[in-house]
């Protein structure tokens, strides 16, 4: 049985670039399907619909967006002195224009369909029993679907599963799901939501990103980042 869940009633959080298109569903590149790290985790496999990503909390959003800035300790030891002498920002620095070019949104969903809890054991077991799922996953090297495949770095697998769920229709030919609930690879308490195109979204709140944002400070301390 596929486990269905509802998003938080107070809305979802998102960090994106400034501009009117921040909540626009954009089609992914189908060419990314040939690369295990291509695209985003639950993008359309066929490239025929857009997906937007949200967190249940603002902490989740900062963790997901700033994870790539985490300093490599070996590289940092090699370059820190040189970069400091040439007045470059050191490893783990978040430039001020990163903050100024982005904005925080809290978003509501208008009568959304259920979301699939992709981490639920029953959901994984059900998908593993569906021949139309496994026939394609076997071609991607997955012979026994488990949580490791859902959390793994081969995005072809998770994108195919997302495509399968997005394409499901009820007896009237209407979509069954609004998206996928999942957990960030950066921590089991970081709850994320992949929202499929067709789900109606509306802006509840728009906030500028300040250096002293409590959620930003939490992530900066956790990842040893310097916010400018």
**Full-model pTM:** 0.92
- The dihedrals phi and psi of 190, each to the nearest 5 degrees, come to -95, 100
State the CB neighbour count (10 A cutoff) for residue 83.
Answer: 15
- Does the pLDDT of residue 166 top 70, yes or no? yes
Residues facing residue 51 across a β-bridge: 196
Lowest-pLDDT choice from 42-51, 97-106, 169-178, 219-228: 219-228
- Does the pLDDT of residue 217 top 80, yes or no? yes
The two tokens of residue 25 are 């569903």
Q: Which residues contact 169 (CB under 8 A, 6 or more apart)?
A: 175, 176
Q: What is the mean pLDDT of residues 6-15?
A: 97
Where are the chain's structural domains? Answer: 4-227
Residue 47: C-alpha distances to residues 32, 57, 116, 162, 210 (Å): 9, 28, 20, 11, 35
Residue 227: C-alpha distances to residues 91, 93, 217 (Å): 11, 6, 9
Instruction: Please check whether residue 75 is in contact with residue 211, taking contact to mean a CB–CB distance below 8 angstroms.
Output: no
- What's the pLDDT score for residue 78? 52
């Amino acid at each position: 049985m596929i486990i269905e869940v509802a998003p938080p009633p107070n809305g979802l959080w998102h960090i994106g670039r400034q501009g009117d298109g921040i909540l626009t569903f954009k089609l992914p590149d189908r060419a990314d399907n040939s690369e295990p790290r291509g695209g985003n985790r639950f993008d359309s496999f066929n490239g025929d619909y857009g997906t937007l990503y949200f967190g249940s909390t603002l902490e989740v959003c900062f963790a997901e967006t700033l994870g790539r800035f985490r300093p490599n300790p070996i590289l940092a030891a090699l370059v820190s002195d040189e970069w400091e002498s040439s007045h470059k920002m050191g490893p783990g620095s978040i430039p001020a224009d990163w903050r100024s070019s982005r904005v925080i949104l809290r978003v509501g969903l208008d009568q959304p369909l259920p979301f699939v809890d992709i981490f639920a054991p029953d959901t994984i077991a059900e998908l593993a029993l569906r021949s139309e799922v496994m026939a394609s996953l076997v071609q991607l090297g997955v012979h026994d679907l488990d949580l490791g495949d859902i959390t793994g770095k081969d995005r072809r697998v998770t994108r195919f599963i997302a495509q399968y769920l997005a394409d499901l229709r009820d007896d009237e030919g209407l979509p069954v799901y609004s998206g996928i609930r999942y957990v960030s690879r950066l921590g089991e308490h970081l709850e994320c939501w992949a929202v499929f195109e067709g789900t109606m979204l509306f802006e509840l709140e728009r906030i500028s990103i300040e250096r002293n944002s409590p959620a930003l400070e939490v992530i900066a301390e956790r990842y040893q980042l310097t916010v400018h």
